[in-house]
Amino acid sequence: MPAKAIHSCIRVLDEARSVAFYEEAFGLTVADKLDFPDFTLIYMSNPLSAFELELTINKGTTEPYDLGNGYGHFAVSVEDLEVEHARMEAAGLAPGKIVDFAPAGTRVAKFFFITDPDGYKIEVIERGGRFL
């Protein structure tokens, strides 16, 4: 039986700062919030997808999380990459440079990365090909 992807979790230090970033950068809004004695879970989404980003806030944690040396990341697709890059730049979100990725001469993807307040990388890919 196939599985349905429903959410991905990241651990964040500051709830308000992270919620504001994901709202501003990607138009995600809080779909649900579950508060427990030791941690809070915030589910963020938008009408384009049922998939959610789960922000986990471990109460009492004051030091940044060790993200390791891998290159794990969350990815979103957008209709017009240049427009989104300019919008994020104007909002002070410091997007990285736009990359036209065509290692064998044929475009695989056009994208840039942006980093959230906790150091997580988010890949922003222009819609097209396999990235719809």
Strands 7-11 and 49-58: parallel
State the amino acid at position 14 in one-letter form.
Answer: D
Closest CA to 116 of 48, 49, 27, 25: 25
Is 15 part of the annotated catalytic residue set? no
- Report how far residue 76's alpha carbon sits from residue 132's, in angstroms, rounded to the nearest whole number: 9
With beta carbons less than 8 A apart as the criterion, state whether 81 and 111 touch: yes
- Report how far residue 72's alpha carbon sits from residue 123's, in angstroms, rounded to the nearest whole number: 10
- Catalytic pick from 52, 84, 123, 126? 123
Which residues are known catalytic residues?
Answer: 123
